[in-house]
A and B are shown apart, each in its own frame.
Chain A
Amino acid sequence: MKIELLYFDGCPSWETGLKNLESALQEEGITASIHMIKVNDEEEAAQQKFLGSPSFRVDGRDLWHEEREVYSLSCRVYVTPEGIKGYPTVDMLRDRLHSLAD
């Protein structure tokens, strides 16, 4: 299982996103390491089909996939049980990781 976290420095919420991903992996008993991918500019954003920072991919597939016409540097937000946040909760990540295993 290849796990990637895509981010860019400007959006500080990727750090919480990383912590939550680490917790979710641990709680799901997944030992795969996290590959951090820093997106530096618009060109890289387009190449990576970057949906915003932070984004989470497993085996190349975004955990909250959506189609966009244009890919650019942006701060991604997630609808969590506590409202819109700059990162998904541990439980949200666990659910997505769990559904991949089914």
Chain B
Amino acid sequence: MNNSRFATWMTWALILGMIWTVISRVSPAQLQAQTGSVPKEGFTAPDFTLSLLDGGEVTLSDLRGKVVLVNFWTSWCPPCRQEMPAIESVYRSYKDIGLVVIGLNLTAQDSKQDAAAFAQGVGVTFPIALDLDNSVSNLYRVTALPTSFFIDRRGVIRSVIVGGPMSEAVIQSKVEGLLQEDQ
């Protein structure tokens, strides 16, 4: 094989490789959830229904089509308390374009009164769900507080942050990224 034919062959190989790279690329919106509901990134968020502090209840699977931040917290946990105003601020900024926040209180380790007093003090306007028997905390295998799950419009967990406090910039960046994805 002379140099000219070799160069031509290499050029075509390069072009075909580039075409393959482009057509086989998976966009975030095309990511498919891995099988089953597991509280890990890439898996469908386990479903739950919980009572809300202000009455009524919330079911996670009813929120498909929205970006959901589930934040596990207690009123006695300092980093939970510290990050709550930042979560509230991001919620207010993005709730009208598809963000839902569920403040999931580990009520079995807290008290409804303390949770309510703290939420009122911070001026929380997003729903506070009460995990009265630890069932959802167990389901999500929570090992530290706070823990936050960022869930996309298809109900897939895309990011988990254990510990805190999260800064407003971090929350905003994760929420914006998910809101920009196609449904």
Residues from chain A with Cβ under 8 Å of B74 in the complex: 75
> Are the C-beta atoms of A84 and B108 separated by less than 8 Å?
yes
> Are the C-beta atoms of B162 and A74 separated by less than 8 Å?
yes
- Bound CA–CA A70/B143 (angstroms): 14
Residues from chain B with Cβ under 8 Å of A21 in the complex: none
Residues from chain A with Cβ under 8 Å of B142 in the complex: 77, 84
A52 at the interface (CB under 8 A from B): yes
Residues from chain B with Cβ under 8 Å of A36 in the complex: none
Q: Give 1 or 0 for each of A55-66: 1 = CB within 8 Å of chain B CB.
A: 000000000101
- Bound CA–CA A45/B162 (angstroms): 13
Closest to B73 in A: A75
> Are the C-beta atoms of B162 and A75 separated by less than 8 Å?
no
The contact size tier of chain A is 20 to 34
Residues from chain B with Cβ under 8 Å of A85 in the complex: 109
> Are the C-beta atoms of A77 and B109 separated by less than 8 Å?
yes
Q: A68-B162, A71-B163, A74-B144 are in contact. Are A86 and B79 (CB under 8 A)?
A: no
A-B residue pair count with CB separations less than 8 angstroms: 72
> Are the C-beta atoms of A73 and B163 separated by less than 8 Å?
yes
Closest to B81 in A: A10
> Are the C-beta atoms of B109 and A84 separated by less than 8 Å?
yes
Residues from chain B with Cβ under 8 Å of A45 in the complex: 163
**A84 in complex: contacting residue of B78, B137, B162, CB < 8 Å:** B137
> Are the C-beta atoms of B109 and A10 separated by less than 8 Å?
no
- Bound CA–CA A1/B182 (angstroms): 55
**B134 in complex: contacting residue of A72, A74, A83, CB < 8 Å:** A83
**Which residues B56-85 have CB closer than 8 A to chain A?**
74, 76-80
- Bound CA–CA A52/B164 (angstroms): 10
Closest to A45 in B: B163
> Are the C-beta atoms of B145 and A75 separated by less than 8 Å?
yes
> Are the C-beta atoms of A77 and B79 separated by less than 8 Å?
no
A92 at the interface (CB under 8 A from B): no
A3 at the interface (CB under 8 A from B): no
A51 at the interface (CB under 8 A from B): yes
- Bound CA–CA A41/B26 (angstroms): 39
Residues from chain B with Cβ under 8 Å of A84 in the complex: 106, 108-109, 134, 137-138, 142
B contact residues vs A (CB 8 Å cutoff):
74, 76-80, 106, 108-109, 133-134, 137-138, 142-147, 161-164
Other than the known A11-B78, A72-B162, A77-B143, what 10 A-B pairs have Cβ atoms closer than 8 Å?
A: A10-B77, A51-B143, A70-B161, A73-B79, A73-B163, A77-B106, A77-B145, A83-B133, A84-B138, A86-B109
A contact residues vs B (CB 8 Å cutoff):
10-12, 45, 51-52, 64, 66, 68, 70-79, 83-86
